[in-house]
Amino acid sequence: MNPVPAQPSKDTSSPALWSGRETSGAWPAELLEHFCLRMSSQGMCVSRALMICDRRYALEQLSHAHNMADDTLRLMAVQLFRHFEARQSGIAGMH
């Protein structure tokens, strides 16, 4: 009797497995780093990895930041959101 061939492993990078986790585009690295550090100083731990690969997570964190009583953090959230909007609409080179 021939053994049953092993099933190929599922590709976890498949878009179907990342439903709802569309990449949000490359964030400005320095701004994202400062944003995450500033959120941390407010007691909110933000994952850079999830900010990059999970659109819902990213927008949720930007919303939290915008609603905090920290004008600098609010400004960072607005800048990141504008970058996000530009990437989603296909506008390139937004500064």
Please indicate, yes or no, if residue 38 is contained in any of the structural domains. Answer: yes
Q: How many domains are there within the chain?
A: 1
For the cut 70, the answer to whether the pLDDT of residue 53 exceeds it is: yes
| pLDDT score recorded for residue 42 | 94
Which two structure tokens, joined as six digits, stand for 54? Answer: 């999970």
Please indicate, yes or no, if residue 51 is contained in any of the structural domains. Answer: yes
Q: What is the mean pLDDT of the chain?
A: 77
Per-residue pLDDT of 55-84, as tens digits, reads 999 999 999 999 999 999 999 999 999 998
Please indicate, yes or no, if residue 18 is contained in any of the structural domains. Answer: no
| pLDDT score recorded for residue 24 | 46
Give whole-number Cα distances, 51 to 13, 29, 57, in Å: 17, 11, 6
Rounded CA-CA distance 52/54 in Å is: 6
Domain coverage including residue 53: 25-89
Kindly state the average pLDDT of the residues 9-14.
40
Count of H helices and E strands in the chain? 4, 0
Name the pTM for this structure.
0.67
